[in-house]
Structure 1
Amino acid sequence: MSRPREDRQDGTGSPVPSGSAARHTVDPAVGPARHMGAPRRLPGWLKIGTAVVSVLLVGVIAFGAYWAIRLQGNISKASLGAGSDKTEPVVDDARDRMQILILGSDTRDGKNSQYGGPEDSTGYGNSDVMMLMDISADNKRVNVVSFPRDLLVDTPKCIDQKTKQEFPARQNVMINSAMSEAGIGCAVDTVNKLTGLEIDHFMMADFDSVKELSNTVGGVDVCISDAVFDPDSGLRLPKGTSKVQGEQALAFLRARHAFADGGDLGRIKGQQGFLSSLVRKIKDDGTLTNPAKMLQIADVVTKNLTIDEGMASVPTLLTVANRLKNIDVGKIAFVAVPTMPAASDPNRLDLAEPAASQLFAAMRKDIDLTDPTATPTPSGSPDVSATASPAPSTSPPAPAYDKAVQPVTVANGSGVPARSQEIIKSLTAGGFSQLAQLAAPAVVTTAVYYGAGFEDVAADVATLLGVPAAQVLPAAGVNGVQVYLGSDLVGGAAGADAPVQLPADIVNQTAGDVVCQQANPFLITR
């Protein structure tokens, strides 16, 4: 029998035997042919570890997706404005200065029906709480400014963004009614008109949110000077410090008669004390670094929250929350808008001038209310004060006229009532005393008009208020000088770098202060 040829013409070896012959090679040194070229087995521990990691990864993704969907589904949203024109660009929620209007709704429907019937709140309801939270661009300070609900203001024309129904402007109405007809956007537009700011976002919560949040954090410590019982809110507290949650936490925030003289300002101080204590508790308990606790709080908050469309996403809310977590509690300032009893009704409030205008001017200039005189060197800018030679001292030439007898009129077309007093105060500080004011149709751009022979006076007035020279114009119908204020909010300070004057007690407290509320003497119990 001849052997098979091994010298194939194509130069290859013999083909591998098939079938059973392949499983039984005659060369014991080779080993079973079925293992030739097969990959090595993975160690058992590596297989198990890979499986566990895979399961955990899928679980984490599923868990995150579940919470993202759940939290997003909780959110209710509404329009930011009610027809007003926005002149400022949309803010970068991660890096820009940001103003958020925080509202508490007094609606009595659904879960809130136990606090009254439909007759207690009409339309969209009134704002039971109104606070403007102002976060600095560098995330180093926050101002929280409270507006008393009894404050009388003028509301702008508002359009309900759902029904497109138009509601006319109103004069001398309580600020808490601003949202009752046209919705939350009208409250935003009203605060913009009052302060000269442009609010970036809003958040509105109902009664139930306070109860659930206070329960989630395990209660909030509050302090009062004497034992007190307020039958209207149901608040009952012993003297000293108590932990409130649930119904008693809501009663503390709603109590109108329990604090001070039983008015709205005492109520505001109580709310500010509660929020200060809540901030300290969340920071001290490490809640902001505890994902499980943060998810609980986020779930509670979003279930009872209405926010504007630009903020209505979980990532945006997380971005804002992340900006707040490292702020020093001593730089979270709680302020109440300065007020006085209203001339038209002693049970209502008017803005107290000039303090209110000073506060709004400081807010527009982004002043640190805890330290209004602070002038930090901007980041990246050299401090030239130590090296630059002082400029020679020269006195400006005296004007060729008597400022005290020059007629200057302030026509307010800015849409911000307080602006007239702010400008008049600046003119008075600049030496002008023959001043008058009048209401005027709304305009966008501020201008200084002057009659024949008053060009030099107009130039000095414009310089004093920071109005550009291109906006100083002759006008045949003007007697003397007229400052026509526009919505651009130019002017209002004696020079662009002049320090802002504020009442010494403008800040009620910071979040770092532990304050004991003064009990209303008429509700003290023994």
Structure 2
Amino acid sequence: MNPFVKVGSTVSRPREDRAGGTGSPVRSGSAARHTDDPAVGPARHLGVARGMPGWLKIGTAVVSILLVGVIAFGAYWAVRLQGNISKAALGAGGEKTEGAVDNSRDRLQILILGSDTRDGKNSQYGGASDSTGYGHSDVMMLLDISADNKRVNVVSFPRDLLVDMPKCTDQESKKEFPAQKNVMINAAMSEAGIGCAVDTVNKLTGLEIDHFMMADFNSVKELSNTVGGVDVCISDAVYDPDSGLRLPKGTSKVQGEQALAFLRARHAFADGGDLGRIKGQQGFLSSLVRKIKDDGTLSNPAKTLQIADVVTRNLTIDEGMASIPTLLTVGNRLKDIDVSKVAFVAVPTVPAASDPNRLQMAEPAASQLFAAMRKDVDLTDPTATPSPSASASVSASAEPAPSETAAAYDKTLQPITVANGSGTPARTQEIIKALTAGGFTQLGQLAARPVAATAVYYGTGFADVAADVAALLGIPATQVLPAAGVSGVQVYLGSDLVGGNPGGDAPVALPKDIVNQTAGDVVCQQANPFLITR
């Protein structure tokens, strides 16, 4: 027998006697792949394929096709959704004091804006003259998600609210806009862009917003259609000619143009003012949350993709949130929250002293709300113990906040002045906000020379008030001193930066009715008596 067997161009040595237990010889790679000689062993591909059952061949082919299809489908949606997104800068030059946020586990504050721009798809709602610049923020809500994903606050700011707007720089044109006092809050975005609206809310609340999301009129129509309509309720049949909203008494399902009319309606609810409009919007969003939860939408991939497509097509967001994985991460945090812990709140307001057709913040209620939010208080249950995973500023061993003991005096009548000798101008407003949140409203400011140590001085008869002020601000009792030349109480701030931390262990006073409703409440809106139809 020929000692070599020629297979094509490959030469292979026949197998030797392995009776002695020697291992398999090293074979040529090409022989192993292509030889038909059984002495060489089965070909790794061709030989196996010939022996593969028909059903396995078909199954392998089907699985391969499905795998390729799934990959292609996922890539298509990822590219499509990412391509939908528009981006803008988060701020307009305001100072940042916090580091980057972890979107998957940190407390998140997202400013939700609705633009009244009439560009593009929105041209049917008016001409360009109806909205200027970037458009006004027709809706402004602060979405506050707790670190443990158990609570959400949705705080609405009336568009007629008069505020102080900080200096802003348009991040596209680089044009600077000076700080302004007593202007409508919805004007911030129209001049210097979304970032200016973010900086204005930061200044107003003392919080630092992590992200923003801005949608236009069209997003409401498409989203309401995608979920199959949203149930809303009103006390009487109503017709609002300005928005075009016409509803019968009781519960109705609205979608498309009618859903948009419900959210835009300015005169249909309550007394026809902005606060009635806010309650209508909150009722709509509460119903939308319940519907999405009840339908299991966030657990249905196909439905979720539909909603994601609708939302991203009409959305502008900041760079830090402008990716599909990030949006999915944030959305995933919301899916298991109890609807009774989704609190809808409106910033407390009263008619403005300078213009009764506008609003100003009602004090001390507004400052109390913002102080509670800075401390990450559960607005639905202010006495609840924060969970260990809540904001790092709250101790994990904190006890439930006791009820506030009534003072032996009326806090609103006590004269308190703040003299800033710290060398840090912003400290004055920090202290005033803290005092206001604690219920003191008769506040003044004094020019002061620089000093090293903070102190609380008090005049005759004000020792108890001074002690309470010091406790509220976290100033040691040893730095509370009588002073013959002081009328009332004076907080003299030093460069030691002591004080201004009412978050320590002091309970936060909150108006009992601060929460308008939760997402679990089914609320019927009160119709404006002047627009009721028969």
Structure 1 and Structure 2 fold alike (TM over 0.5)? yes
Q: Residues of 2 paired with 1:64 and 1:440: CA distance?
A: 63
Distance 1:192 1:483, change over 3 A: farther
Q: Is 1:66 the equivalent of 2:76?
A: yes
User: Which one of 279, 298, 308 corresponds to residue 289 of structure 2?
Assistant: 279
Distance 1:416 1:137, change over 3 A: farther
Match of 1:150 in 2: 160
Match of 1:464 in 2: 471
Match of 1:482 in 2: 491
| Residue 483 of structure 1, CA deviation | 4.2
Q: Indicate if the aligned counterparts of 2:153 and 2:343 stay in contact, CA closer than 8 A.
A: yes
Distance 1:182 1:330, change over 3 A: same
1:40-69, Cα deviation, whole Å (9 max, x unpaired): 422222222111111111111111111001
Q: Is 1:420 the equivalent of 2:426?
A: no
Distance 1:307 1:419, change over 3 A: farther
Q: Indicate if the aligned counterparts of 2:456 and 2:470 stay in contact, CA closer than 8 A.
A: no
User: Which one of 131, 139, 143 corresponds to residue 133 of structure 1?
Assistant: 143
Q: Residues of 1 paired with 2:431 and 2:282: CA distance?
A: 27
Q: Indicate if the aligned counterparts of 1:446 and 1:483 stay in contact, CA closer than 8 A.
A: no
1:277-326, Cα deviation, whole Å (9 max, x unpaired): 00011111111111011101000000000001110000000000000000
**What SS does the corresponding residue of 1:236 show, helix, strand or coil?**
strand
Distance 1:338 1:485, change over 3 A: farther
Q: Is 1:77 the equivalent of 2:66?
A: no
**What SS does the corresponding residue of 2:160 show, helix, strand or coil?**
coil
1:393-436, Cα deviation, whole Å (9 max, x unpaired): xxxxxxxxxx9x998522584389696264156485xxxx9x64
Match of 1:448 in 2: 454
| Residue 224 of structure 1, CA deviation | 0.4
User: Which one of 301, 304, 307 corresponds to residue 297 of structure 1?
Assistant: 307
Q: Indicate if the aligned counterparts of 1:147 and 1:337 stay in contact, CA closer than 8 A.
A: yes
Q: Residues of 1 paired with 2:188 and 2:95: CA distance?
A: 18
Q: Residues of 2 paired with 1:336 and 1:144: CA distance?
A: 8
Q: Is 1:255 the equivalent of 2:265?
A: yes
Q: Residues of 1 paired with 2:281 and 2:92: CA distance?
A: 28
The percent of aligned pairs where both chains have the same amino acid is 73
1:272-421 correspondence to structure 2 within 5 Å: 272-376=282-386, 378=388, 408-411=416-419, 413-414=425-426, 420=432
**What SS does the corresponding residue of 1:179 show, helix, strand or coil?**
helix
Q: Which amino acid aligns with 1:196?
A: G
Could you list the runs of 5+ residues in structure 1 that have no partner in the other structure?
A: 1-5, 7-12, 23-31, 386-402
Match of 1:166 in 2: 176
Distance 1:384 1:129, change over 3 A: closer
Distance 1:416 1:215, change over 3 A: farther
Q: Indicate if the aligned counterparts of 2:85 and 2:315 stay in contact, CA closer than 8 A.
A: yes
Q: Indicate if the aligned counterparts of 1:414 and 1:485 stay in contact, CA closer than 8 A.
A: no
Q: Residues of 1 paired with 2:116 and 2:494: CA distance?
A: 36
Distance 1:177 1:411, change over 3 A: farther
User: Which one of 440, 444, 448 corresponds to residue 437 of structure 1?
Assistant: 444
Distance 1:168 1:239, change over 3 A: same
Match of 2:25 in 1: none
Which has the larger Rg?
Answer: 1
Q: Is 1:219 the equivalent of 2:226?
A: no
TM-score by length of 1: 0.82
Q: Which amino acid aligns with 1:507?
A: V
1:433-470, Cα deviation, whole Å (9 max, x unpaired): 9x6412889x9x9973578999x99995784234466x
RMSD: 3.7
**What SS does the corresponding residue of 1:517 show, helix, strand or coil?**
coil
Match of 1:26 in 2: none
| Residue 378 of structure 1, CA deviation | 3.1
Q: Indicate if the aligned counterparts of 1:457 and 1:481 stay in contact, CA closer than 8 A.
A: no
Could you list the runs of 5+ residues in structure 2 that have no partner in the other structure?
A: 12-34, 400-410
TM-score by length of 2: 0.80
Match of 1:496 in 2: 504
Distance 1:422 1:318, change over 3 A: same
Q: Indicate if the aligned counterparts of 2:228 and 2:255 stay in contact, CA closer than 8 A.
A: yes
Total equivalences in the alignment:
475
Distance 1:116 1:57, change over 3 A: same
Q: Which amino acid aligns with 1:248?
A: Q
Q: Which amino acid aligns with 1:48?
A: I
User: Which one of 116, 137, 141 corresponds to residue 126 of structure 2?
Assistant: 116
Q: Residues of 1 paired with 2:464 and 2:212: CA distance?
A: 44
Q: Residues of 2 paired with 1:54 and 1:422: CA distance?
A: 64
Distance 1:418 1:210, change over 3 A: farther
Match of 2:187 in 1: 177
1:372-408, Cα deviation, whole Å (9 max, x unpaired): 01125636999799xxxxxxxxxxxxxxxxx9x9985
| Residue 33 of structure 1, CA deviation | 7.7
